[in-house]
């Protein structure tokens, strides 16, 4: 009896999308307004889902409070009210697209979960744009 | 041409999370505020999805009105404005966590659907906590 | 330049609607399923709004963190995961309808705000039922 | 590293659900109010998801602007503010149920995506009724 | 102690915006795609609010079930799955813009409420377009 | 017959909250994480409402397309994907709090509306924090 347990979280951040090796013109052609050198930002909505067997005693797959605290310590504390390009080491050489941010989040959470649990990350960059990564 | 058809429903209920065999202190350590012996409650949002082939004449996988009525008769009538621990027999010996509620809902709906249909249940306990069960 | 600043919060609670002086039958006729003696519950969504002049230095009417903490200490700590009828003194002799809860919330918050600020409380009992009280 | 990229879009349309070969009475029994010969309508919310490898240079699976423009040119321009039965050729002989509309949308988008990309369409007919089609 | 009590409801309908006395070209210039002679449609979300004193015995301004049933009998039964231009008499000589629909709804509900109650109607034509009318 | 017509819009931006005359420590004490010198950002949701008489011929208070285009030309083009502190002249000497942004938006829109129309601006900085300004 495998159940997927999902927890919604939130962080705000600034970022800029560009490839440092490219000219400004080429970055502008590909990334448009997202290439603004002065940065822009988003309210990122994050849904982290953990799939596994229900514990027959507690009725939990994972304690939501444990999951909530894990998201806070690993993701919100690292990303919230930050400039992703400037202050988050994972994006030193990685363009902080929604795709790449979702992979970074997945990689940061995965070691903290038991091996028999599956992990999925959904990241909303805006209410109309979002990505899903499952490893 | 398999399509998944989803219908959103709603019920309000009171519940308490605890393991009767445990001391109050142990329940408090695991379930925190959810162990309140006087109960607390939620607006549960429920999404029931049925997957199957499109009927080539009607264009339906399943008539939404049929699905809506099934959810009403089997789930809303049994759970809405109820105390899950006290009044719903399925939780007499089962802790009414979101995980267990989703499994109970799935088990109550499954016999009413044709064998070639797949069933998925998503249950929101709060806007930030939800679970998914597919059998 | 008066601006209204609004902060959304959340608490879960159990309650029962009834008039103790009435028979069960009369309560049943008026309050229906909400009169369940075993209680039912809701995810209450709360929007607290404070209206006042913008501070010309900070640009704040009220610091959102201050407002958030006030809602937490006065309302969430008192109501969250509680049985309103049994555990919240304000409802000892007051029926915990959404209307009455909104007035109790307003009365609890009002003394903590400066006299030149206006206060409004919006309380969602369900996504489809909500009330507004402004004193 | 496969990521699913999702874009939300929107169109309004009128439609009628019925099988032309059936009597009005039989259509009425199956489709109820949706069989109104004068039509009714919906705000359709559409989520189009494309799954593929992240481009190691740009960090994109697909440029959201490209996906947004594709949905606009292929779907919104064809369906928005239209009468699906009368004005959209794909429904000349196909009942415009949510299921069939999702298949038509998928078929219209599929040729515009690279072969190594997967496509999923979610279509909300109302906030409570929606369908998912993945080919 | 005046409280505003709000109830959310829903109906789907087809409509066309145009002034019969104008040429098609003039209607096209003013109403654009909304002037489609084959109609288009919407999921209208409706919020009806009633303001009044809290009854000191029941704790209600108005019983939500009474308000829900009133909206169903007066508005949903009249408008849901209808063609507003063709089938709703109030729009025989009135253009069914969101503004005019909100006034018609207000006029239909007002006689059913006590004189000391105030009435407000909010009507969402789409999630991004809505109107408010208070008489 | 005055009706309020509301249109929802959206822009993303980076900002930093601080008072240049203050020390970093004082700014940190008042603005906390919002004082990050590397900026953070938000998805701002904007609701612009115009109140006035319904035109008896068209049934419009204001054409939604006109309102949508006005918001685009005056607000979205000026703020979207921008750094409010660095790139928007109105915030050269004004701290870009939600309160101040709502006033700036109101002041930019007001001259474009007829004198007999009233204007209200609601600005969501996050889904839980928002402000309202009516002049």
CA-based nearest residue to B104, from B96, B112, B116: B96
Average pLDDT over residues C117-124: 98
pLDDT at F39: 98
pLDDT at A80: 98
pLDDT at A121: 98
In tens, the pLDDT along E24-73 reads 999 999 999 999 999 999 999 999 999 999 999 999 999 999 999 999 99
Enumerate domains of chain F plus CATH numbers: 2-133 (3.30.479.10)
F126 and A10 within 8 Å at the Cβ level: the answer is yes
pLDDT at A62: 98
Residues of chain B with pLDDT below 70 are none
Burial of A46 (0-12, 13-18, 19+ CB in 10 A): buried
CA-based nearest residue to C11, from C38, C46, C35, C39: C46
Torsion angles phi and psi, residue F18, rounded to 5: -170, 160
pLDDT at B55: 97
Interface of B with D in 59-118 (CB under 8 A): 59-61, 63-65
Nearest to E54 among C96, C99, C128 (CB): C99
Average pLDDT over residues F105-124: 98
In tens, the pLDDT along D104-118 reads 999 999 999 999 999
CA-based nearest residue to C66, from C7, C3, C116, C115: C7
As a whole number of angstroms, the longest Cα–Cα distance in chain B is 60
How far is Cα A41 from Cα F126, in angstroms, rounded to an integer?
12
* pLDDT digit string (tens) for chain A, length 135 residues: 899 999 999 999 999 999 999 999 999 999 999 999 999 999 999 999 999 999 999 999 999 999 999 999 999 999 999 999 999 999 999 999 999 999 999 999 999 999 999 999 999 999 999 999 999
**Active site includes A21?**
no
| Alpha helix stretches (DSSP H) within C33-122 | 64-71, 77-79, 84-87, 98-109
How far is Cα F79 from Cα C22, in angstroms, rounded to an integer?
59
| Chains in contact with C, counting 3 or more C-beta pairs less than 8 Å apart as contact | B, E, F
3-state DSSP assignment of residue F76: helix
Q: What is the 3-state secondary structure (H, E, C) of F36-66?
A: CCCCEEEEEEEEEEEEEECCCCCCCCCCHHH
Task: For CA atoms E65, E67, E70, E76, give the dihedral sign.
Answer: negative
Contact (Cβ atoms closer than 8 angstroms) between residue C116 and residue C51: no
Write out the two tokens for F31: 């603005």
Contact (Cβ atoms closer than 8 angstroms) between residue E44 and residue E121: no
Contact (Cβ atoms closer than 8 angstroms) between residue F48 and residue F109: yes
Interface of F with E in 6-25 (CB under 8 A): 6-9
Average pLDDT over residues D96-103: 98
What proportion of chain D, given as a percentage, has pLDDT over 70?
100
In tens, the pLDDT along B7-42 reads 999 999 999 999 999 999 999 999 999 999 999 999
User: Do the chains B and E touch each other, judged by at least 3 C-beta pairs below 8 angstroms?
Assistant: no
In tens, the pLDDT along C57-111 reads 999 999 999 999 999 999 999 999 999 999 999 999 999 999 999 999 999 999 9
Task: Provide the shortest C-alpha distance from residue C39 to chain B (in Å).
Answer: 6
Number of A to B CB contacts under 8 A, please give it. 51
CB of C56 less than 8 A from some CB of F: no
Length of chain A: 135
pLDDT at C92: 95
3-state DSSP assignment of residue C117: coil
pLDDT at D36: 97
**Active site includes B15?**
no
Length of chain B: 135
pLDDT at F49: 98
């Amino acid at each position: 009896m495998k159940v997927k347990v999902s927890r919604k979280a939130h962080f705000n951040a600034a970022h800029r999308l560009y490839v440092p090796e490219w000219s400004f013109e080429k970055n502008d052609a590909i990334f448009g307004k997202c290439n603004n050198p002065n940065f822009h930002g988003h309210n990122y909505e994050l849904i982290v889902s953990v799939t596994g067997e229900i514990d027959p005693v507690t009725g939990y797959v994972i304690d939501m409070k444990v999951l909530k605290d894990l998201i806070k310590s690993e993701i919100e504390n690292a990303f919230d009210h930050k400039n992703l390009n400037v202050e988050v080491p994972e994006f030193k050489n990685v363009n902080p697209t929604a795709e790449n941010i979702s992979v970074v989040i997945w990689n940061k959470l995965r070691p903290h979960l038991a091996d028999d649990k599956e992990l999925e990350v959904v990241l909303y960059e805006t209410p109309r744009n979002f990505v899903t990564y499952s490893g």
